[in-house]
Amino acid sequence: MNKIRKCIIPVAGHGTRFLPITKALPKEMLPILDKPVVQYVVEEAVASGITDIILVTGYNKRAVEDHFDFHSELESWLQKNKKLEQLEQIRKIAQLANFIYIRQKGHYGNGTPILNAAHLIGNEPFAVAWGDDLFVGHTPRLAQMIKVYEKYQDPVLCGVKVDAEGAKKYGMIEGLEVEKGVYQVKKLKEKPGPEKTESRMASIGAYILTPDIFNELKTTPVRAGELWLPDAIDRMLKRRSIYAKLIEGTYYDIGSKIGWLKANIEIGLQDSAVRPALKKLLKKVK
């Protein structure tokens, strides 16, 4: 059985919901306390057994590449000033995984970066995680999904419970629960709204995929100039089983302003150095 050791993280999006800051700063570099959100995603992948991180970037994403590189000038300065804890901290970032960078080319849409990385995946199963979705929990989200893949040997979607409003915003998973928290997917409906689905489980933020997805992507019709991964997965569903893992943990949509603020506050309250002052501040906020 092939182990999942590669994860594609698309980071080429424009981040329009956070303009004007994302005019110069990639949305994946927005900080959650003192770390950019994409570092949390990489750390989650590594904690799930991933060794190779494939970042699909765009022309304005140099900051992402720089973040996961060594910085000799900064390291020398930290060494000289005996800031050894910070020195160790930034060196570890570059050593987290084998980092591979490719540029996104082709149609808009979230299917294109997956297809761009096909030559790096070969005939292996692999993970996909978006660079602006954050999950916090006892067991990493990707580890939960990989466990399901290892049992069923079929693609796995990341399932998140949402309310009726969420049925308007996300692709909704309809399926049969085959074991606790694991569903065999019957339909994947794109933003159907609460009137057209009884499901309240959305497909958000991550996938475990098999290499046959690449042929599906190559033949999936482009919609309004965009190639969509969910369209290819829906086509795949017609010829093989696909599962969904209802994730145990907290989901933060860092691509939205309120999601970013919520993540900073809640994760800040878990940080022993920040918590006392943050709690005092929150009590003063009217």
Phi-psi region of 224 (alpha: psi -120 to 50; beta: other; left: phi over 0): left
For 148-177, write each residue's pLDDT tens digit: 999 999 999 999 999 988 888 888 999 999
Q: Domain 6-255 adopts which CATH fold? A: Spore Coat Polysaccharide Biosynthesis Protein SpsA; Chain A (3.90.550)
Instruction: Provide mean pLDDT across the span 70-96.
Output: 91
Q: Sign of the CA dihedral 46, 216, 255, 31?
A: positive
The confidence score (pLDDT) of residue 194 equals: 86
Domain ranges of the chain: 6-255
Closest CA to 216 of 236, 190, 186, 230: 236
Q: Which residues, listed in sequence order, are joined to residue 133 by a DSSP beta bridge?
A: 253
Model-level pTM?
0.93
Query: What is the structure's pLDDT at 95?
Result: 94
Which amino acid is present at 196?
A: K
Phi, psi of 143 (to 5 degrees): -65, -40
Per-residue confidence (pLDDT) for residue 1, from 0 to 100:
65
Q: In the block, which residue shows the tokens 């860092």?
A: 254
Average pLDDT over residues 111-132: 94
* Mean pLDDT, rounded, for 85-109: 92
Read off the pLDDT of residues 22-32 as tens digits, 9 standing for 90 and up: 888 889 999 99
Q: Taking all residues of the chain, what is their mean pLDDT, rounded to a whole number?
A: 92
State the DSSP string of 67-88: HTS--HHHHHHHHHTT-HHHHH
Residue 4 buriedness (CB in 10 A; 0-12 / 13-18 / 19+): buried
Q: Is 138 left (phi over 0), alpha (psi -120 to 50) or beta?
A: alpha
